[in-house]
A and B are shown apart, each in its own frame.
Chain A
Amino acid sequence: MRRLFGNRSQIWIGIVLLMAFLIAFPFFATDYWMTLLILIFIFTVYASGWNLFSGLTGYTNFGLAWFIGVSGYVSSLLIADYNFFWLLAWPIGALFTSMISIGVGYILLRIKGVYFAISMVALAEGTRELFGTEYLSPITHGGKGVPFVAGIGLSTLYWAILLLAFLSLIVCYMIFSSKFGLRLLAIREDEQAAETLGIHTTRDKITTFVISAFLVGLAGAIHFTYQNYIDPSFAFSIHLTITPIVMTLFGGIGTVFGPVIGATLFTFIHEILWAEVTLLYMAFFGGILMALILFFPQGLLGWMKERGILPRIRKI
């Protein structure tokens, strides 16, 4: 780190300058760049939240869209049908999601490996279908979706999601460098051994799962307020699960800053591909996924740690 960035105070100055630039950004930037940065921050939180749970515990969460969709639906319906103020609706959505996640985690985290991944997909897909049926449409408005206006300016939304992205990075940094994070790593390496050594594996797994659900849920609520629209196939879409995973893999799974780098780079790649090859966008996306797994599985930060460009510590 020193070799690359100079000494510690220089790093701090860099961070402060970057934050000042990002905070002042709405005063001089165009709307296009603001929306791009909003998307980057939203996906930073998604990717960090996914990485917090799956990168540390080794349990593949293939149902991230469930957190996003549930929280998005609760907050959007509160804003649309009950005229809630957005600042109140967002935390309610996220809290609701993390509350249910306690139950879901308690039940599903007993299942290991691919089965856990599939049960999370089934949860997201099942909820998506359920929200679109005629039986729930008095509450969810069925498959046709809910358009709504939250009455929030683009700059305010930008600062809100910037704050959330920053906070979730701090949470990740603290957990990754704590003893709690070390216990989670022990679960990833060998759950049975960790349990024998006196780690309360169930409690630790559920705690991380719920923290991840809260952060991702909060970002999800902001995401749909930003879109001014929500419908089941969009809110629980498998792409909301896959994209953050790909970003995390791209930046480096199990690292603190990997998801941020991945989210930033990947959002730009997405923009370019979407503009240049709209019809074949998915094919390119799929090709990138395959190439990533085959040729670059450790991600950018993992690769830099392997090559000795960055020190091999948990805090990065």
Chain B
Amino acid sequence: MVNFIEILIRGLMLGSVYALVGMGLTLVWGVVGIVNIAHGEFVMLGAYFAFWAFSLLHLNPLFSVALSIPVFFFAGVVIHRRITERLVKEHELSALILTFGMSILIWNLAQFFWTNTYRSVSYLTGNFPFMGLVFGKGKTFSFGLAIAITAALFLFLKYSKWGKAIRATSQNSEVALVCGINTMKMRMLTFGMGIGLAGAAGAIVSLQWVIFPQMGGSYISKAFAIVVLGGLGNIQGALAGGLIIGMLEAIVTQYLSAKMAQIIPSVTILIILLLRPTGLFKK
């Protein structure tokens, strides 16, 4: 029983990071209307950002996680202004192909410059016991960071002026436009926030999991499963979906095998789309 609780908590910690990735994807998808297949690659870039900041500049990972958010936010704003804004009104295929092209462009460049070596940031290694359970220090630290960023995102969307405008654009962009909201600017901000979340998630990932140029692929499939679970554009749903995917992964890895755990995202997507295409949660 103690073992099972430990597995659940491990899944919860994993899920909190997945949720960050999934919330970024669902936010962009809901507001901008673009499915960003390159989202996973920004997770990878975020991970390398934290890794290089740690190994070259000896930055504290806490600081590089905080720094990754504005850096990736601005990168996202620039990418959206230059490229993706043109696809907003096009057929869905355009955005799918374009972001897929962006995705392989990014990972191949990363592979070319940083090689395929598996790397990780060795920060906060070791465990500590708590109420008869054993926790990894790094994982607990990342869990705290992920929760803090999630809370900040929720507060921003709920109470700030821009957050309200973004939610309005997501609900009905035409009415939002009529009400005097600059929806183009909101789409740009949202794209930046989505990339910022992906970058931050990547920086957190690098603290305890191995990183390599092609790691984005596994994150994007989980992020898709999370978006489908939570319902399109539903941030709270994505948070819950991320935690569910994380726990499922921990349980299946423990009781079946690590290979079976990789099937979870695909199976989740298929089952949810067939039984409840609007997602598990009401908006």
Query: B60 within 8 Å of A by Cβ?
Result: no
Return B105 CB to nearest CB of chain A, in Å: 3
User: For residue A62, which residues in chain B have a CB less than 8 angstroms away from its CB?
Assistant: 96
User: For residue A145, which residues in chain B have a CB less than 8 angstroms away from its CB?
Assistant: none
Query: B101 within 8 Å of A by Cβ?
Result: yes
Query: B8 within 8 Å of A by Cβ?
Result: no
**Cross-chain contact A286 with B105 (CB below 8 angstroms):** yes
Q: Interface 1/0s, chain A 44-67, versus B by CB < 8 A?
A: 000000000010001010100000
Nearest to B228 among chain A residues (CB) is: A118
**Cross-chain contact A114 with B259 (CB below 8 angstroms):** no
Q: Please tell me which stretch of B148-156, B176-184, B268-276 contacts chain A, meaning at least 4 of its Cβ atoms lie within 8 angstroms of it.
A: B268-276
Per the bound structure, the CA–CA distance linking A118 and B25 in Å amounts to: 14
Chain A binding surface, main DSSP class: helix
Query: A111 within 8 Å of B by Cβ?
Result: yes
**Cross-chain contact A289 with B273 (CB below 8 angstroms):** no
**Cross-chain contact A290 with B259 (CB below 8 angstroms):** no
Query: B70 within 8 Å of A by Cβ?
Result: no
User: For residue B270, which residues in chain A have a CB less than 8 angstroms away from its CB?
Assistant: 119, 122-123, 126
Query: B198 within 8 Å of A by Cβ?
Result: no
Q: A118-B269, A122-B224, A293-B97 are in contact. Are A113 and B92 (CB under 8 A)?
A: yes
Q: Please tell me which stretch of B107-115, B117-125, B135-143 contacts chain A, meaning at least 4 of its Cβ atoms lie within 8 angstroms of it.
A: B107-115
Query: B57 within 8 Å of A by Cβ?
Result: no
User: For residue A135, which residues in chain B have a CB less than 8 angstroms away from its CB?
Assistant: 260
Q: A115-B277, A282-B108, A283-B108 are in contact. Are A133 and B100 (CB under 8 A)?
A: no
**Cross-chain contact A111 with B277 (CB below 8 angstroms):** yes
User: For residue A16, which residues in chain B have a CB less than 8 angstroms away from its CB?
Assistant: none
Within 8 A of A (CB), among B5-28: none
Query: A279 within 8 Å of B by Cβ?
Result: yes
Count of residues in A whose CB is under 8 Å from the partner chain: 43
**Cross-chain contact A130 with B263 (CB below 8 angstroms):** yes
Q: Interface 1/0s, chain A 280-306, versus B by CB < 8 A?
A: 111101111110111001000000000
Return B25 CB to nearest CB of chain A, in Å: 11
Q: Interface 1/0s, chain B 239-275, versus A by CB < 8 A?
A: 0000000000000000001011011011101100110
Query: B interface, how many residues as a size bin?
Result: 35 or more
Per the bound structure, the CA–CA distance linking A186 and B274 in Å amounts to: 25
Per the bound structure, the CA–CA distance linking A135 and B257 in Å amounts to: 10
**Cross-chain contact A134 with B257 (CB below 8 angstroms):** yes
Return A274 CB to nearest CB of chain B, in Å: 13
**Cross-chain contact B112 with A123 (CB below 8 angstroms):** no
**Cross-chain contact A281 with B108 (CB below 8 angstroms):** yes
Q: Interface 1/0s, chain A 242-262, versus B by CB < 8 A?
A: 100110010000000000000
Within 8 A of B (CB), among A113-148: 113-115, 117-119, 121-123, 125-126, 129-130, 132-135
**Cross-chain contact B101 with A293 (CB below 8 angstroms):** yes
Query: A107 within 8 Å of B by Cβ?
Result: yes
Return B242 CB to nearest CB of chain A, in Å: 17
Per the bound structure, the CA–CA distance linking A122 and B86 in Å amounts to: 27
Besides the known contacts A123-B270, A242-B97, 6 further A-B residue pairs in the complex with CB atoms under 8 A apart: A113-B92, A115-B273, A286-B100, A286-B105, A289-B101, A293-B98
The contact sample of 20 A-B pairs, CB cut-off 8 A, is A111-B277, A115-B228, A118-B228, A118-B273, A119-B273, A123-B266, A123-B270, A125-B266, A126-B263, A129-B259, A129-B262, A242-B97, A279-B112, A286-B105, A286-B108, A289-B100, A290-B102, A290-B105, A293-B98, A297-B90
Binding site for A on B (CB under 8 A): 35, 83, 86-87, 90-94, 96-98, 100-109, 111-112, 221, 224, 228, 257, 259-260, 262-263, 265-267, 269-270, 273-274, 277
